[in-house]
Amino acid sequence: FEHSSMTSIIAIPAFNDNYIWTIRRGGDAAVVDPGDAAPVQEYLARERLALTAIITTHHHADHVGGNKALLERHAVPVFAPAREQIPGATTMLTEGDRVDVPGVEVTLHVLDVPGHTAGHIAYVGDVDGPVLFCGDTLFAAGCGRLFEGTAADMWSSLGKFARLDPATRVYCAHEYTLANLRFAAVAELSNGAIAVRIDAGTRKRTRNMPTLPSTIALELATNPFLRAGEPNVRKAAESHAGTALARPVDVFAALREWKNSFRG
């Protein structure tokens, strides 16, 4: 039974549409946002891997619900946002902190990205190229709902992602891509890149493959929430909101409201 000495990232599906991203190298693995312990245990057993760390972006149950059961079987560190209560947290993190993930030879840098939750963090690192674990802040062609933060918080958080290397692979926590793209197609009718992406995503989902990871470049080209500064996106948002929207953050807020009730 050979283990690769390369570091790789694989998706463990959980619940209806969550992905628990697993960073593995040799016989070791670290998991990001294990909302459910069972599929993680199953994967570790099948692949004969030792769990070395739990990495958390925010406190919602579908991201931390598996921590307790995993910690009963594996004594590992839990990297967590300092401003949130995370089961089993051992290392509290805020922007500028650095995490050397045990076992998998990956260093992650922390960003504060409030909006979806007040203390949400994201992790940026390098695994055969730049990678981002963004939890529920950024989705493929979408962004998280504003449960605890304001539109201004989220707009600022997304701005941090927009400034990352365009080649950065984006590991979001949910398979929402096609639903988000249906909204994107309405929010920016003239954007041909969205249709191309819908086609590619549909082909993947028909084969039951994840549409993820995305890339920052792809998000900048097709995600209306990152494109709130584009005239066509502003026009669509103004038309839906029935009012003029002066600043990109206002366009963003109107888009988020619109998306909340969108049935595409």
Which residues are annotated as catalytic? 58, 60, 62-63, 116, 136, 174
- Facing residues of 31 across strands? 22, 54
Give me the half-sphere count of Cα atoms (radius 13 Å) on the Cβ side of residue 108. 27
Cα(172)–Cα(214) distance, rounded to whole angstroms?
Answer: 8
3-class DSSP assignment, residue 169: strand
3-class DSSP assignment, residue 90: coil
- Quick one: tokens of 198? 């819908």
Number of H helices, E strands in the chain: 9, 14
A 10 A CB-CB count for 234 gives 22
Q: Can you give the three-state secondary structure of 8-56, one letter per residue?
A: EEEEEEECCCEEEEEEEECCEEEEECCCCHHHHHHHHHHHCCEEEEEEC
Cα(90)–Cα(107) distance, rounded to whole angstroms?
Answer: 17
Based on its alpha-carbon atoms, the radius of gyration of the chain, rounded to whole angstroms, reads: 18
